[in-house]
């Protein structure tokens, strides 16, 4: 019997029991539905991560530190010995951790490494507050703007050289600082205030019973504050692909941020020291050259991380989550395969006389087995196609709502890949065919005489 004839006959057999075929296929369809949505969600998450990396980091740069704690590579289960030279105490996984910092001497050493093009310090300053005349005061953080960043603007333009006390103001500060809209903010000045280190501690004097009148308190307060007026060069649209936690970051040029940072840390161990720096590699798009500089830094005792390392780490997290969800989908799929076996086994029992008649008319054992394997494959194909199609339809309908709810901008959380869907359906066909092997084998072994005697 020709393969095409067997395929047609298997199709007719399934159509003769439409309800049973559809119900069995829908069991597989549930697994296909879950797996299709899982794959599309992981595609969307991966694209989103890739866009965050692309829009915020230069692939030719390395993030370099003198301490592995910057990259959370530290054992927080044991107390860390205090070191005066380390400077600030940071928090890693909830544990207090001192971070060894880089100074100018380190920067000079790194600049001499073969393949290093330039170095820029990683500086962010916690403001005491930001304000305008007759407006309330708000806490904030100002960071160094990287030329590689590609933020969306509501108004204004980013200068080629962001210096001379020019500021990129986040959209979130507009109404708080009394601006009517983004255009109103451009060209206006805001006051940035940072805390200066002072030898006079007001609170300790008060605790020691030393009387300080209000006028002296105000004078001491002024001495511990330093303010500068910055001009708003542009207003940043609320970012979709920003690094988490940086939505309200203000940005200024490297010279301005370093100056404010020096003012806040003057007289402390952290003065003119940095937890990390950005090292730009010549021809850094070449992985070999990037790796060569990383090896040189490692040999000198520094820790580095490339954009690719960061991307792989984030994608690894997505991969783990995807694996967990796929596992649940596979459990549902395995359960449905028992339904395929049961359905096909019942079909063999119900069609015993038919099988005996086909064999009596000359149908070979392998043709009988192939007939039932084809029927199982058809069930897998129908179930996989229905589940994937339903997932695609539901995902397409929900994508606009999900995008709006999660504020993803032009990005979609569910990104369907036709190639993945086709491969998934083919895998379901193969798995369903395997599930049909036992019933097919039973059908092929039936004795035609005994089968014809069956009532």
Domain boundaries, the chain: 3-52+313-453, 123-272
pLDDT, one tens digit per residue, over 125-137 is 999 999 999 899 9
Q: Which has the higher per-residue pLDDT, 212 or 154?
A: 154
Which of 40-44, 81-85, 176-180, 357-361 has the highest mean predicted lDDT (pLDDT)? Answer: 176-180
- Residue 79 pLDDT > 50, yes or no? yes
pLDDT: which is higher, 202 or 399: 399
What pLDDT sits at residue 199?
Answer: 47
Q: Which two tokens stand for residue 164?
A: 């001379």
Cite the DSSP H helix spans in 57-175. 104-111
Instruction: Name the band, by pLDDT with cuts 50, 70 and 90, for residue 217.
Output: low
pLDDT value of residue 412 = 79
Residue identified by tokens 């709810």 is 405
Phi-psi label, residue 422: left if phi above 0, alpha if psi -120 to 50, beta otherwise: alpha
Mean pLDDT (whole number) for 196-212: 53
Tell which wins on pLDDT, 280 or 4.
280
Q: In whole numbers, what is the pLDDT of the chain averaged over residues? A: 80
The winner for highest mean pLDDT among 168-182, 242-256, 329-343 is: 168-182
Question: Residue 176: pLDDT above 50?
Answer: yes
| Poorest-pLDDT segment among 66-70, 95-99, 137-141, 170-174 | 95-99
180 pLDDT more than 50: yes
pLDDT given at position 345: 73
| Residues 266-285, mean pLDDT to the nearest whole number | 87
pLDDT-based confidence at residue 200 (cuts at 50, 70, 90) = very low
Share of the chain above pLDDT 90, in %: 26
The answer to whether the CB of 108 falls within 8 A of the CB of 121 is no
Count CB neighbours of 203 within 10 A: 7
Top pLDDT among 43 and 330 is at 43
pLDDT for 97-150, tens place per residue?
667 888 899 999 999 999 999 998 889 899 999 999 989 999 999 999 887 888
Copy the structure tokens of residue 122: 């990683």
For range 267-289, the mean pLDDT: 87
- Distance (Å, whole) CA 156 – CA 187: 8
Residue 234, SS3?
Answer: strand
Q: Are 153 and 235 in contact (CB under 8 A)?
A: yes
What pLDDT is recorded for position 31?
A: 84
Write down the residue that tokens 């038919």 correspond to: 354
The predicted pLDDT at position 92 comes to: 47
Task: List C-alpha distances in Å: 419 to 34, 40, 385, 423, 430.
Answer: 17, 12, 13, 6, 17
Q: Which two tokens stand for residue 353?
A: 């006389």
Lowest mean pLDDT among 134-143, 169-178, 339-348: 339-348
**What span, in angstroms and rounded, lies between the C-alpha atoms of 257 and 252?**
6
Which of 74-78, 84-88, 105-109 is the most confident on average? 105-109
Q: 22, 223, 302, 250: which is closest to 141 by C-alpha?
A: 250
- Residue 279 has a pLDDT of 92
- Highest-confidence segment of 43-57, 82-96, 173-187: 173-187
Q: Are 196 and 266 in contact (CB under 8 A)?
A: yes
**CA-angle at 159, arms to 155 and 164, nearest 5°:** 110
Q: Please determine, for residue 194, whether its predicted confidence score (pLDDT) is greater than 80.
A: yes
Choose the most confident range, by mean pLDDT, from 93-102, 184-193, 216-225: 184-193
């Amino acid at each position: 019997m020709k393969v095409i004839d067997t395929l047609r006959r298997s199709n007719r057999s399934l159509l003769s029991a439409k309800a049973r075929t559809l119900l069995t296929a829908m069991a597989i369809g549930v697994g296909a539905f879950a797996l299709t949505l899982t794959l599309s969600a992981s595609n969307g998450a991966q694209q989103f991560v890739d866009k965050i990396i692309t829009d915020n980091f230069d692939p030719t740069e390395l993030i370099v530190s003198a301490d592995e704690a910057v990259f959370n590579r530290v054992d927080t289960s044991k107390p860390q010995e205090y070191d005066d030279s380390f400077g600030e105490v940071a928090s890693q996984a909830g544990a207090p951790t001192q971070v060894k910092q880089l100074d100018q001497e380190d920067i000079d050493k790194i600049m001499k490494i073969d393949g290093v093009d330039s170095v820029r310090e990683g500086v962010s300053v916690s403001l005491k507050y930001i304000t305008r005349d007759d407006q309330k005061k708000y806490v904030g953080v100002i960071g160094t703007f990287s030329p590689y960043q590609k933020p969306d603007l509501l108004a204004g333009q980013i200068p080629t050289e962001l210096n001379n006390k020019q500021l990129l103001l986040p959209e979130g500060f507009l109404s708080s600082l009394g601006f009517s809209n983004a255009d109103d903010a451009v060209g206006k000045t805001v006051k940035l205030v940072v805390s200066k280190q002072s030898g006079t501690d007001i609170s300790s004097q008060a605790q020691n019973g030393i009387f300080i009148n209000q006028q002296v308190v105000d004078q001491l307060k002024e001495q511990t504050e330093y303010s500068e007026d910055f001009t708003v060069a542009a207003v940043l649209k609320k970012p979709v692909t920003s690094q988490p936690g940086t939505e309200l970051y203000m940005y200024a040029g490297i010279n301005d941020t370093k100056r404010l940072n020096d003012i806040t840390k003057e007289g402390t161990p952290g003065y003119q020291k940095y937890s990390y720096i950005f090292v730009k590699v010549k021809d850094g798009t070449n992985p070999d050259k990037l790796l060569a500089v990383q090896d040189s830094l490692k040999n000198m005792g520094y820790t580095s991380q490339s954009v690719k390392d960061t991307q792989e780490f984030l994608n690894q997290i997505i991969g783990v989550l995807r694996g967990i969800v796929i596992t649940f989908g596979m459990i549902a799929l395995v359960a449905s395969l028992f339904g395929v076996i049961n359905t096909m086994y019942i079909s063999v029992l119900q069609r015993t006389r038919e099988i005996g008649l086909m064999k009596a008319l000359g149908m070979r054992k392998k043709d009988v087995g192939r007939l039932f394997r084809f029927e199982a494959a058809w069930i897998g194909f129908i179930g996989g196609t229905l589940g994937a199609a339903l997932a695609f339809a539901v995902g397409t309908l929900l994508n606009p709502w999900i995008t709006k709810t999660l504020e993803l901008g032009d990005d979609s959380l569910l990104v369907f890949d036709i190639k993945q869907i086709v491969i998934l359906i083919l895998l379901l066909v193969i798995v369903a065919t395997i599930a049909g092997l036992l019933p097919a084998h039973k059908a092929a072994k039936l004795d035609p005489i005994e089968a014809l005697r069956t009532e």
